[in-house]
Amino acid sequence: MKSQREVCIAWTIVGEDRPARDDAGICNAWISVETCQSATVKSRPMRLPRMTTRRWMIAVAILAVGLATAVALFRRHLALRQRVAYHEEIEKLATATVGELALAARWPKAAAQVRANAAIRARHARLKEKYWRAARYPWLPVGPDPPEPEKPFSLEDLHNVDVPGLP
């Protein structure tokens, strides 16, 4: 294969009055000396634009907006992770123990407590998953929390229950 310089010399020999032909004899176009010289100039790498004060100011502003967005998203991620930890803790506290299940078998108010704890646990498990997903993708919006389930009794009612077999 001919080098670019040899091809240019061959094209300049053809002249402006006849079309240039490649090795297969196919007519490429009308080629002149100027065209050949511009082809050699185009092979050089493109020069980068000058960085003027205005361009530096624009670049710094774009960088500042990008960094501020990243910091805001990271802070939102941390706040949502705190909510995940809170709902995880409440979910653990509301988990029914073996003793609570044994009490639920004997007393109806204890059974109501276990059912209420199950509802609270399920709610906080859903909220934990919701906020975990939101912490994973902090740029997405988060919907409102569902209302808390109603408590069927108070702890004082459970405390004042007469337990059979105790003095």
* 23-57 pLDDT per residue, tens: 555 555 544 444 454 555 556 788 888 999 999 99
Are 128 and 91 a contacting pair, CB within 8 Å? yes
Specify the DSSP element, H or E, that contains 20.
strand 20-21
pTM of the model: 0.56
Residue 117: pLDDT band with limits 50, 70, 90: confident
Separation of alpha carbons 67 and 62, rounded Å: 9
- Spatial separation of the C-alpha atoms in residues 51 and 92, rounded to whole Å: 58
Handedness of CA 114, 115, 120, 124 (dihedral sign): positive
Confirm if 80 and 131 have CB atoms less than 8 A apart: yes
